[in-house]
Structure 1
Amino acid sequence: MVVALRRLPNPRLTGLGGGIFAAGVMFLLGCVDWLLFDGGPLMYGLLFLPVAALTAVWVRPADLVTAPVSVPIAFAFGTLPIAGGTGGVGGRVLAVITTLALNAGWLYGGTLVAGVIATVRKVRMIRRRYR
């Protein structure tokens, strides 16, 4: 299993690159969720957790602090296709805010996942330097 995991790509994204990666993937997943599942929050939330984990794993060690910050922004950006809303920009903004409020559990969960992974990576990096 370790050999199979080592064959996976191991990119090192900058802080900005990690944010753009997460936002782009979440927007794409939001579009797919809207097309296939009519914007159901369950699928979007379930798909957010692995994106948050991958963002925290793939960000450079120097930019670890950006992973838990960029992941919630990406979640909010990805809700644009599934939020709905009518009545122009104001209606769209209110729909996004409502979607964020109703999916706060997924938002907090993904942020926690990214934060824990970034913290563990930082602690391991500090221990390696200490040794």
Structure 2
Amino acid sequence: MAWPGRPSGPRLTGLGGGLFCVTVMFLVGFLDDLLFGASLTVYGVLSLPVCALTALWVRGSDLLTAPVVVPISFAAGLLTVADGGGGFLGGVMGLVTALSTQAGWLYGGTLVAGVIVIVRRIRLIRRRRRG
């Protein structure tokens, strides 16, 4: 385990972290729709580890991007599981309804990413002051 010295895993740029998070959330939404019939609870639960990984894998210089891309990726993946009627307006209404009813998961994922980013930032500042 490499955590005491440095966190293990890839080091993503801010853009890379955003692309990773959006892509994985879109795939999670697609698989949720395929396997569980678009269960919003399953989608919300599976979004939390994606948020944590995004916050852990972003480079130290791009830490502040993680809590920003997490809600955007949640909404992007929600497009695949939101219950929209016919047409464009039905899809928009389904997305707005899903975002309002699943706000707890959205805030929870953002909170997870934010806490991880704050802890990583504090550790980074302490390490720079020592060295």
Interval of TM-score (by shorter of Structure 1 and Structure 2): over 0.9
CA distance in 2, matches of 1:99, 1:17: 26
Partner residue of 2:31?
A: 32
Q: Secondary structure at the match of 2:80?
A: helix
Identity of aligned residues (%): 60
> Which contiguous aligned blocks of 4+ residues in structure 1 show a shift greater than 6 angstroms?
none
Match of 1:46 in 2: 45
Spell out, residue by residue over 1:28-70, the C-alpha distance to the aligned partner (whole angstroms, 9 max, x if none): 0000000111111111011000000000000000000000000
Deviations 1:6-39 (A, max 9, x none): xx96111010110110000000000000011111
Count residues in correspondence: 127
| Paired residue type of 1:30 | G
Q: Which residue of 2 aligns with 1:81?
A: 80
Q: CA RMSD in A?
A: 1.6
Superposition TM-score, scaled by structure 2 size: 0.92
Question: Equivalents in 2 of 1:79, 1:103: separation in Å?
Answer: 10
One-letter amino acid of the counterpart of residue 72, structure 2: I
Describe the SS at the equivalent of 1:82.
coil
In 1, distance between residues paired with 2:40 and 2:81?
8
| Equivalent AA in structure 2 for residue 82 of structure 1 | V
Question: Per-residue deviation at 1:87?
Answer: 2.6
3-state SS of 1:11 partner: coil
Q: Which moved more, 1:75-84 or 1:9-18?
A: 9-18
The range that moved more, 28-37 or 84-93, is 84-93
The aligned counterpart of 1:104 is 103
For 1:68, the aligned partner's letter is P
Structure 1 gaps of 5+ residues are none
Looking at secondary structure, tell me which structure has more helix per residue: 1
2:55 counterpart of 1:56 = yes
Give distance in 2, aligned partners of 1:129 and 1:50. Answer: 29
- TM-score normalised according to structure 1 size: 0.92
Distance 1:115 1:35 in 2: 30
What's the offset of the Cα at 1:72?
A: 0.4
Q: Distance in 2 between matches of 1:52 and 1:21?
A: 10
